[in-house]
Structure formats: C-alpha cells, structure tokens
Amino acid sequence: MTTEATAAQGFTLARNAPLRHRNTLRVDAHAAWLADINDAAALPTVLEHPALRDHRALLLGEGSNVLFTRDFDGAIITLKTRGVEVSDDDPAAVRLRVEAGEHWDDLVRWSLAQGYAGLENLIMIPGSVGAAPMQNIGAYGVEAGEFIETVDAFDLHERRFASFTHGACEFAYRDSVFKRHPDRWLITAVTLRLPRAWQPRIEYAGLRDELRRMGCEHAAPFHIADAVVNLRTRKLPDPDVIGNAGSFFKNPLVAAAQAGALRAQHPQLPCWPAAHGLTKLSAAWLIEAAGCKGTRDGDAGISNRHALVLVNHGTATGAQLWAFAQHVRAGVQARFGVLLEPEPRIVGAPAAAPPP
C-alpha cells in the first residue's frame, strides 16, 4: 500500500489499499484508491485529485453493512469527521448536529448520559452516523429515521453541498433516497431531533420479557438500553470475534394473501402488519425452518446463534460468502416461495438477483 500524506489539506490518500479491517465481514479485498476525509470542506479538492478524478467512487463508513465480492477498482471515500453539537435545546426537544464520522453506538451512549432519550432501542448498532440515514437503521421496533430532522450531504454528480429535510430523505424500511442513489450522495452530517415527551418503546418481541427478567416494571431509557444490550449480546455474534455484518437479510414484505396462506401452513411463522397493506415476515424464522441456521460451507456460513447473520469463520472470500448467501436464499425460496433480499450493500455482484 502506498500512502500520500495530504493531512494539511484535510484528507489522506492510499493506493492499492487493503480493506480487511475496513469491513466487519473481514473480507480480504483491496481498493485501487482509498481516501480518508478529515474535513468535509476538502471534498471538492479530493474529488479533483488526479488519482480520483477518473475513478468511480464508493462511499464507505465503518464497513458494517457491506460485502465486497471482489477487489474494488475505483476509489473508496470515507469520512473521518467527528463532533456532536447541541444546536437547539428547548422544552419540546433537543437537536443534535452530528458529524458523519462519529460512531453510532458512541452517540447513543453519549445522548443517554446527557439525559436525552429516544435512541435507547438503537444501542449497539455498529457503524457510523453517516451510514444511519442511508440504511435507515433500526432495531427493536425503532428506526433512526424517526428522529432525523435534516441530513447534510455532498452531491458527487453536481459537486455541491446540499441539505435534505426529513421528508426529502424518503425513509422507509431499511431504505432511503440515499440508499437508492448510493453513488451520488455522501452524507456529511445528521441533525437529530429528540423529543422531551418520551414514551418507552417496548412492544418488540422479547424486549418486554427482558425488562421483566431484569425486574423493571417502570422502564426508564437506560433500562431499555440495558435490556437491548443484553438481548443483542446473547443473540448476535460479536464482529470482533467472528466476521459478520449483523442481519444480512431483510424481513420480507409480502401481500397479505400470501402471508395468510403461509400462516395457514405454518402457524408458528411470526408476521406483522406493514405499510401499504403488506405483511412483514420473519426472515430469521424462514431461514431456520429451511434448515440453514448454523450451516456452513468452508469458512462461509450462517451463525448458530441467529439465523439472519452471515458469518466468516476465518478466510472466506467475498465471493464465497455471497455464494453461500445465495444458497440460503434458494433454500428459503424453494421451501416457502419467498425471495429474501440482502440488507448490506453487495459490491461487485447484483444484490437483488434471484439465486441460481
């Protein structure tokens, strides 16, 4: 790897950069160029650098929601900007302006320590703040988009800075305008609005039971955070111990009639009403019922702790992990007629392609 030190200009460039420690699946891929940005104002300069001008760009946070199926022959851009500012604090809500390079879990823990409630269900989600709007991250019945008021971004096509209101972000289940145009918008900062009128969100399966096990009858935000930490620690493998990107498959949305037919055959199948008259099915249940939980092929496999988690047991390549994910999708589709979609971005292969 060759590095060009340009810190005085707010960024550094590396050539033929290894990515193994830039993605939580621990795939041993390389990028032709890697740009780390320490100052968002440097973006126009970075993109006009001769090394990057003629290369396609890929935006990467902490690599917790990406699978590299091969080396990337373009330029990877990562924002390393840090900072949290209380931009407004009144009796109705507190607003936090957070730089994209901040670690999401650090932000959640900091906000709780300051007495700001709302993000407690989203504790322990890996990744950067800048990646949160892209995926509209969510857990235990709460989505980040509920609290995002504005998003600041850089338009890679028109080479200009822009700001998005909440409505312009077009948030949906694990989706946003940024995810639908992943190579256009580089998120530089996020403004969150955390209402003072707080209500606990403990409807999600298992969360209320965990609070009961903790002996907590009247849950405060920090109680809910502790309960979520307990649940995630028990259920999800630690990416520092075994390579994984968290939930690899989305819970599928199907027509109500299809969900009813499946429930008639499989009464244990968990499902929930969703928008537009659709029904959300449990992908974890489908994968386990298809016999895929805990299985593996070489170093690529599905966790024996949680059926949604694709894991790298050691030195699996990105292509091997994607092939195994396709095997899982094919098994679920053959058994239930439901095609699972991957949650992470698949680099180097069509993510939505049906399994062979």
What's the 3-state SS for 20-54? HHHCCCCCCCEEEEEEEECCHHHHHHHHCCHHHHC
pTM of the model: 0.88
| pLDDT band at residue 349 under the 50/70/90 scheme | confident
Give the model's pLDDT for residue 275.
Answer: 86
pLDDT at 308: 96
Average pLDDT over residues 191-212: 93
Could you give the percent of the chain with pLDDT greater than 90?
85
Class of domain 243-347: alpha beta
Which pLDDT tens digit goes with each residue over 44-90?
A: 988 888 878 888 889 999 999 999 999 999 999 999 999 999 988 88
In CATH, what number does 2-79 get? 3.30.43.10
Name the H helices within the chain: 43-47, 50-53, 104-113, 131-135, 166-169, 177-180, 207-213, 221-235, 256-265, 283-289, 318-336
Q: Which of 22, 174, 193, 329 is catalytic?
A: 174
CB atoms within 10 A of CB 192: 25
> Which of 143, 149, 210, 343 is labelled catalytic?
343
Catalytic member of 247, 282, 303, 345: 247
Consecutive H or E run containing 302: strand 300-302
For residues 188 and 248, give the distance between their C-alpha atoms in angstroms, rounded to a whole number.
25
Q: Mean pLDDT over residues 101-125, rounded?
A: 97
Average pLDDT over residues 131-143: 94
186, two tokens: 């580089």
133's tokens: 């709007």
Task: Write down the domain spans for the chain.
Answer: 2-79, 84-195, 243-347
pLDDT at 346: 96
pLDDT at site 9: 78
Whether pLDDT at 1 is above 80: no
What is the arithmetic mean of pLDDT over 205-219?
A: 92
State the DSSP H helix or E strand holding residue 66, giving kind and residue range, or none if neither.
strand 66-68
Q: Which amino acid is at 38?
A: N
Residue 158 annotated in active site: no
Q: In the prediction, which pLDDT does 279 show?
A: 96
* DSSP state at residue 276: G
Residues 6+ apart with CB under 8 A from 40: 79, 81, 99, 100, 154, 188, 189
Q: Would you state the pLDDT for residue 262?
A: 97
Q: How many helices (H) and strands (E) does the chain have?
A: 11, 21
**What's the CA gap between 52 and 73, in Å, rounded?**
11
The model's pLDDT over 289-346, given as tens digits with 9 standing for 90+, comes to: 999 999 999 999 999 999 999 999 999 999 999 999 999 999 999 999 999 999 999 9
How many alpha carbons lie under 13 Å from residue 255 in its C-beta half-sphere?
4
Which residues, including other chains, have CB under 8 Å from residue 329's CB and lie 6 or more apart?
A: 249, 339, 340, 354, 355
Q: Is 143 one of the annotated active-site residues of the chain? A: no
Binning pLDDT at 50, 70 and 90, where does residue 5 land? very low
**Is 247 a catalytic site residue?**
yes
pLDDT of residue 3: 56
Domain at 84-195: CATH code:
3.30.465.10
